[in-house]
Structure 1
Amino acid sequence: MLYPSIDNLLEKLDSKYSLVTVSARRAREMKEDSARVPLVEKPKSYKFVGIALEEIVNDQLTKRVPKEEQ
């Protein structure tokens, strides 16, 4: 079974599109800037996208909604 599961991730964000967008942006941040350390203390994944997904499921990474959309 994959960790984190898609069901757990979709409880944190409202759509698969948001999930992909948020995790891809965070993964790119970590890849391009080595000073950006993972928010997860001991990530199970060694890939940037996997680490970003772990951050989402642990409520350490969320989607920002601009004020005009709220």
Structure 2
Amino acid sequence: MMSPQIEKLMERTKSKFSLVTLAAKRAREITEYSGNLRMSEVVGPTVQTVSTKHLSVAFEEIAADKVRFVAKTLEEVRAEIAERQRLEDEANALAASEETQEEQA
């Protein structure tokens, strides 16, 4: 039997997709925290647990209402896409500039 129960977890999110996304993201954060010997900017586990599996810890945090799913607005998503595109364009321009300098040398 799963602990915490799925019904309790579903009370914290709007859908199963949101629950799975939140739990997976949080489990990755806990993994990063553990892998960096607690020197990461990511917050470590926020609940006392006997579980050693990061996904189980994430589910326990969700059930304890320590972690929440916050959906991004359309404007936030568009801003992120624009920023990624800007960074990609900047990286491509830098790479092209370096290639030109190498050819001239």
Q: Please, what TM-score do these two structures have when normalized by structure 2?
A: 0.58
Where relative contact order (Cα < 8 A, 6+ residues apart) is larger, the structure is: 1
1:27-66 correspondence runs (5 A): 27-34=27-34, 35=38, 36-40=43-47, 42-66=48-72
Percent identity reads: 41
Alpha-carbon deviation of 1:33? 2.5
Alpha-carbon deviation of 1:68? 4.7
Q: Which structure 1 residue ranges, 5 or more long, are not aligned?
A: none
Q: Which structure 2 residue ranges, 5 or more long, are not aligned?
A: 76-105
String of CA shifts for 1:24-67, please: whole Å, max 9, x gaps.
Answer: 01101111222242010x21421000000000000000001224
When the two chains are superposed, the root-mean-square deviation of aligned CA atoms in Å is: 1.7
| Matches of 2:73 and 2:21, distance apart in 1 | 19
Write the letter of the residue equivalent to 1:30.
Answer: I
* Structure that is richer in helix per residue: 2
| Matches of 1:48 and 1:20, distance apart in 2 | 13
Count of aligned residue pairs for this structure pair: 68
Runs of 4+ in 1 over 3 A off after TM superposition: none
Q: Please, what TM-score do these two structures have when normalized by structure 1?
A: 0.84
**1:33 aligns to what SS in structure 2?**
helix
